[in-house]
C-alpha cells in the first residue's frame, strides 16, 4: 500500500510540531511541513521536506504550495494552529481533499464574524459592537452596559482580552488594546479587522472547553474539559483544564448540542474542532469554535484506544481512517498552563523536582528558555510551561496540579523593555 502523505501547516511559533511529527512517525505517514520560515525548521527537522510559504499572503501561499506539490499525491492538509486553519482549508479545497470550506473557517478566525454568524443562527450571544482603534472610545460609552469585555478580532490565547467594569476601565482597556494592535508585530495583518476592537457584554458563569471531531458534519465529542479556576478578569489567563467534566450529563449534552449547532451554522464539516463555552442559568454561550486541535501542549492530557495520541487520531481521521471506536482512555487527566505572573526576564525556575514529585503529576515542561523575556497577559502570547496530571478522579487531578504549582517559584527579574515603534 502507498504510504500516506500529509501536508502539515505550522507557524514557526507553534508548540504543536513535535506531537504531530511523533504521531506521523508512529503511523508511518509522510509529513510535508509547510511553514512561514522553513529554513529554520528545515535545519531542525532535516528529514522532512519543507515548503516555505508566505502565510500572510494567502493566495500566493496557496498558489506556491499547489505548484510545489503538483508531482505528489497528498492525502490531507492539516493545520497545527489557529494561524494556519484558513490556509489549510484553502489548500485542501485546491487539492480537492476532504476538509472545511475556507469561508467557514474564516468565520471562526474573526471574533466579530463569529459573533454575527452565531447570533444570527439563534445561539445565545452577548450584546456586541466594534470600535476602530483610531476612533476615540468615549462616545461609545453611552452604548455600554457594564461589565463588558473588550478584545481584538484576530488574536487568540486571551491576548488583548480585558474586562471593564466602569467607564474609566473601559477607556483604559481600549487604549491598552489599541497600543497592542499598533505594535509592529501586527503590521503584516493588512485587514481592517486587525485594527478593530470588539466590545461584548460580560457573560457570567463557568467555562468549559470541548475537543471534538467532525465527520461529514457530525460532531463527536472527544473530551470535555472543565476549567475550575474562576475566569472573571480583568485578564483571562487559562490555567487548569480537567477532563472528564464534572458537569451533569444533561448539561454536557446541552454543551454538545450548542457546539454542534455552532458548527452547523458556521458550515464546518470535517476534522478537529476546539470550542470554548460559558454556562449560566440562561444556557450555553459559545465563546469560540476553531477548526483545529487544542493549543499548546494540552493535547498530551488525551489518550485514545490503546493509548494513541490526539494527533494520531486526527492524522488517521485526516487520511480517511474510521476512528469512531477509538475512545478516550478512562480515568481523569488534566493540564495546567503555567501563567506568566509578571513581565520580565526569566532568571530561574525553582521547585521543578518538588512539583514533579507530587502524586499524580505526570510531567512538567518549562517551555520558555532561561534568560528569555516573558510577557504577561494581556500583551503576552505564551505560557511558562505546561504541567500534566493523571489520576482516578478529576478532583485528584485538580488538587495535584494546584499543589505542584505551589511548589514552583519563577524568578522573573525586571528587564529593560525597549519600546518598539
Nearer to ligand ATP, 49 or 202 (CB): 202
For cell 502507498, name the residue: 2
Q: Is the peptide bond before 378 cis (omega within 30 degrees of 0)?
A: yes
Q: Which stretch binds ligand ATP (CB under 6 A): 200-208, 264-272, 309-317, 376-384?
A: 200-208
According to the binding rule CB under 6 A, does residue 291 interact with ligand ATP? no
The long-range contacts involving 13-16, CB below 8 angstroms and separated by at least 24 positions, are 13/81, 13/83, 13/381, 14/80, 14/81, 15/295, 15/296, 15/297, 15/367, 16/80, 16/81, 16/293, 16/295, 16/299, 16/311
Q: How far is CA 206 from each of CA 165, 202, 273, 283, rounded to the nearest angstrom?
A: 19, 12, 20, 11
DSSP string, 176-205: HHHHHHTSGGGTT--SGGGGEEEEEE---S
Measured from the CB atom, is 290 or 391 closer to ligand ATP? 290
* Residue nearest to Mg ion as judged by C-beta position: 288
> By CB under 6 A, is residue 379 in contact with ligand ATP?
no
d(CA 344, CA 417): 8
d(CA 293, CA 280): 26
Cell of 102: 475556507
Cβ(366)–Cβ(349) below 8 Å: yes
Q: Name the one range near ligand ATP by CB under 6 A: 202-210, 249-257, 350-358, 400-408.
A: 202-210
Binding of ligand ATP by 236 (CB under 6 A)? yes
Per CB under 6 A, the list member of 151, 195, 300, 405 interacting with ligand ATP is 151
Q: Which stretch binds ligand ATP (CB under 6 A): 92-100, 157-165, 240-248, 339-347?
A: 157-165
For ligand ATP, the closer of residues 41 and 290 by Cβ is 290
CB contact at 8 A, 405 and 387: yes
Considering only the stretches 40-48, 156-164, 173-181, 262-270, report the one whose residues sit in contact with ligand ATP under the rule CB under 6 A: 156-164
Contact letters for ligand ATP, residues 159-188 (x by CB under 6 A)? x-x---------------------------
Cα-based angle 271, 275, 279 (whole degrees, multiple of 5): 150
Count, residues near ligand ATP per rule CB under 6 A:
21
CB of 295 vs Mg ion, minimal distance in Å = 9
Q: Cβ closer to ligand ATP: 279 or 323?
A: 279
CB neighbourhood size of 278 (10 A): 21
* Rounded Cα distance, 3 and 25, in Å: 12
Answer for the pair 333, 389: CB distance below 8 angstroms, yes or no: yes
Q: Which does 394 bind (CB under 5 to 8 A by kind): ligand ATP, Mg ion, none?
A: none
Taking residues 66 to 85 in sequence order and writing x for each that binds ligand ATP by CB under 6 A, - otherwise, the string is ----------------x---
Contact 35, 7 (CB under 8 A): no
Task: For Mg ion, give the closer residue by CB, 19 or 276.
Answer: 276
Q: Does 276 bind ligand ATP (CB under 6 A)?
A: yes
Give the whole-angstrom CA distance, residue 231 versus residue 238. 8
Binder of ligand ATP out of 86, 162, 213, 231 (CB under 6 A)? 231
Residue 159 interacts with which of ligand ATP, Mg ion, none, CB < 5 to 8 Å by class: ligand ATP
With CB under 6 A as the contact rule, the residue among 11, 99, 102, 126 that binds ligand ATP is 126
Neighbours of 398 (CB within 10 A): 23
Give the end-to-end CA distance of the chain in Å, rounded to a whole number.
55
**Among 101, 130, 261, 288, which residue sits at the site for Mg ion (rule: CB under 5 A)?**
288
- Residues 247-286 contacting Mg ion, CB under 5 A: 276
Binding footprint of ligand ATP on the chain (CB under 6 A): 82, 111, 126, 149, 151, 155-159, 161, 200, 202-203, 207, 231, 236, 276, 278, 287-288
Binding footprint of Mg ion on the chain (CB under 5 A): 276, 288
Amino acid at each position: 500500500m502507498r504510504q500516506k502523505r500529509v501536508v502539515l501547516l505550522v507557524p514557526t511559533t507553534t508548540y504543536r510540531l513535535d506531537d504531530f511529527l511523533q504521531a506521523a512517525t508512529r503511523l508511518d505517514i509522510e509529513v510535508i511541513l509547510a511553514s512561514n520560515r522553513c529554513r529554520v525548521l528545515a535545519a531542525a527537522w532535516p528529514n522532512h521536506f519543507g515548503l516555505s510559504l508566505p502565510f500572510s499572503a494567502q493566495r500566493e501561499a496557496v498558489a506556491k504550495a499547489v505548484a510545489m506539490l503538483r508531482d505528489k499525491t497528498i492525502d490531507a492538509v492539516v493545520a497545527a494552529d489557529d494561524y494556519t486553519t484558513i490556509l489549510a482549508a484553502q489548500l485542501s479545497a485546491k487539492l480537492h481533499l476532504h476538509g472545511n470550506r475556507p469561508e467557514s473557517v474564516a468565520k471562526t478566525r474573526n471574533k466579530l464574524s463569529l459573533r454575527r454568524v452565531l447570533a444570527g443562527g439563534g445561539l445565545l450571544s452577548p450584546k456586541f459592537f466594534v470600535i476602530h482603534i483610531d476612533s476615540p472610545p468615549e462616545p461609545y460609552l453611552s452604548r455600554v452596559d457594564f461589565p463588558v469585555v473588550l478584545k481584538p478580532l484576530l488574536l487568540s490565547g486571551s491576548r488583548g482580552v480585558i474586562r471593564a467594569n466602569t467607564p474609566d476601565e473601559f477607556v483604559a482597556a481600549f487604549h491598552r488594546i489599541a497600543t497592542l494592535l499598533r505594535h509592529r508585530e501586527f503590521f503584516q495583518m493588512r485587514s481592517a479587522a486587525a485594527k478593530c476592537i470588539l466590545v461584548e457584554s460580560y457573560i457570567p458563569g463557568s467555562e468549559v472547553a470541548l475537543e471534538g471531531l467532525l465527520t461529514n458534519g457530525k460532531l463527536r465529542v472527544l473530551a470535555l474539559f472543565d476549567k475550575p479556576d474562576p475566569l472573571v478578569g480583568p485578564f483571562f489567563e487559562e490555567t487548569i483544564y480537567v477532563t472528564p467534566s464534572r458537569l451533569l450529563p444533561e448539561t454536557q449534552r446541552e454543551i454538545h448540542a450548542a457546539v454542534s449547532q455552532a458548527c452547523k451554522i458556521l458550515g464546518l464539516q470535517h476534522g478537529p474542532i476546539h470550542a470554548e463555552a460559558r454556562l449560566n442559568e440562561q444556557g450555553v454561550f459559545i465563546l469560540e469554535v476553531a477548526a483545529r486541535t487544542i493549543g499548546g501542549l494540552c493535547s498530551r492530557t488525551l489518550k485514545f484506544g490503546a493509548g494513541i495520541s490526539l494527533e494520531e487520531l486526527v492524522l488517521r481521521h485526516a487520511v480517511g481512517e474510521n476512528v469512531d471506536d477509538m475512545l478516550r482512555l478512562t480515568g481523569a487527566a488534566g493540564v495546567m498552563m503555567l501563567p506568566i505572573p509578571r513581565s520580565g526576564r526569566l532568571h530561574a525556575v525553582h521547585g521543578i523536582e518538588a512539583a514533579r514529585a507530587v502524586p499524580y503529576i505526570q510531567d512538567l515542561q518549562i517551555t520558555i528558555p532561561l534568560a528569555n523575556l516573558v510577557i504577561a497577559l494581556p500583551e503576552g502570547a505564551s505560557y511558562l510551561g505546561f504541567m500534566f496530571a493523571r489520576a482516578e478522579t478529576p478532583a485528584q487531578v485538580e488538587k495535584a496540579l494546584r499543589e505542584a504549582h505551589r511548589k514552583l517559584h519563577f524568578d522573573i527579574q525586571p528587564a529593560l523593555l525597549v519600546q518598539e515603534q
